[in-house]
C-alpha cells in the first residue's frame, strides 16, 4: 500500500534529494538504533524513503529498514504509516494473514535532519521478479491458486477486520516467503506488504 513499497528497481533516486529535509545517505555497514541494525544493501527507494536490507543483531535475522525523508510532511506521513502498520501487525499475532509485519520503529538523526525509520519483515522476491525469473511463461495452476488464496486472505483481513482498502495492488506489492522455483529464488506463499495505507475510523477507508 505504498507509492514506494520496496522501491523502484529500474532507476536511481538521484543525488538532488540528499539534502536537508530529504533522504538520509546510508553506507554499507552503517548502524542504526544504537547498533541494533546494520545496513547491508539498498533494496529500493520511493518518493518518501529508501529501503535497505539490514541485519538485526538482536534477533540474528535480516530485516527491511525503511528510512523516511526528514522534512515535516514526510515525518507526519511516517507517523500515520506506523499507526497503520502497528494495527496490521497487532491484529495478526499468529502471523497467518499473509501480511507483512512491522518489527520496530525509531528515529535516526543525520546530516539532513531527523528521519523516521521503520523495520519490517524481510520477505522474498516480489511477483514481478518471479514472473521475470520464469521468463514470462506463466505459472502452474496450483501455484496460481496458492498465490490467489494468500492474496485474498490478506485483503479480506485488511478490509473486513481493519476497514482498510488497498488501492495500489500490483505485482511489486506481493512478496514471496517460500520457493516456487527453489533453484532460482526464495519465493512461494505470498504476503501483502503494506506501507502508506489509511486506517479507517469506524468505516471503510480508501488508501492513497
Give the pTM.
0.81
The answer as to whether 5 is a domain residue is no
Helix locations, 44-180, DSSP H? 72-90, 127-133, 141-156
The answer as to whether 11 is a domain residue is no
Task: Pick the catalytic residue from 56, 104, 156, 168.
Answer: 168
Q: Catalytic: 168?
A: yes
pLDDT at res. 193? 64
- Does 66 show up as a binding residue in the annotation? yes
User: For the chain, percent helix, then strand, then coil, each to nearest 5?
Assistant: 25, 25, 50
Same domain, 98 and 171: no
Range of the structural domain that residue 106 is part of: 31-121
Q: Which of 121, 145, 180 finishes a domain?
A: 121
pLDDT above 50 (res 207)? no
Distance CA 23, CA 13 (A): 10
Q: Kindly report the CATH number assigned to the domain that includes residue 94.
A: 3.30.200.20
| pLDDT per position as a tens digit, 27-86 | 999 999 999 999 999 998 989 999 999 999 999 999 999 999 999 999 999 999 999 999
Q: What is the tally of structural domains in the chain?
A: 2
Same domain, 59 and 140: no
Amino acid at each position: 500500500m505504498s507509492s514506494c513499497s520496496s522501491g523502484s528497481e529500474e532507476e536511481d533516486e538521484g543525488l538532488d534529494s540528499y539534502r536537508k529535509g530529504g533522504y538520509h545517505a546510508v553506507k554499507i555497514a552503517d548502524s542504526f538504533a544504537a547498533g541494533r541494525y546494520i545496513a547491508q544493501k539498498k533494496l529500493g527507494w520511493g518518493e518518501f524513503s529508501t529501503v535497505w536490507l539490514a541485519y538485526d543483531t538482536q534477533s540474528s535475522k535480516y530485516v527491511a529498514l525503511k528510512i523516511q525523508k526528514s522534512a515535516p510532511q514526510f515525518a507526519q506521513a511516517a507517523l500515520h504509516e506506523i499507526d497503520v502498520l502497528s494495527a496490521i501487525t497487532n491484529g495478526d499475532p499468529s502471523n497467518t494473514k499473509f501480511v507483512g509485519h512491522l518489527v520496530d520503529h525509531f528515529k535516526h538523526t543525520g546530516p539532513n535532519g531527523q528521519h523516521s525509520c521503520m523495520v519490517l519483515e524481510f520477505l522474498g522476491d516480489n511477483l514481478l521478479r518471479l514472473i521475470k525469473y520464469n521468463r514470462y511463461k506463466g505459472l502452474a495452476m496450483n501455484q496460481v491458486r496458492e498465490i490467489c488464496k494468500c492474496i485474498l486472505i490478506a485483503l479480506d483481513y485488511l478490509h473486513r477486520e481493519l476497514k482498510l482498502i488497498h488501492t495500489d495492488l500490483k505485482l511489486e506489492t506481493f512478496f514471496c516467503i517460500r520457493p516456487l522455483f527453489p533453484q532460482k529464488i526464495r519465493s512461494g506463499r505470498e504476503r501483502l506488504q503494506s506501507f502508506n495505507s489509511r486506517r479507517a475510523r469506524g468505516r471503510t477507508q480508501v488508501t492513497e
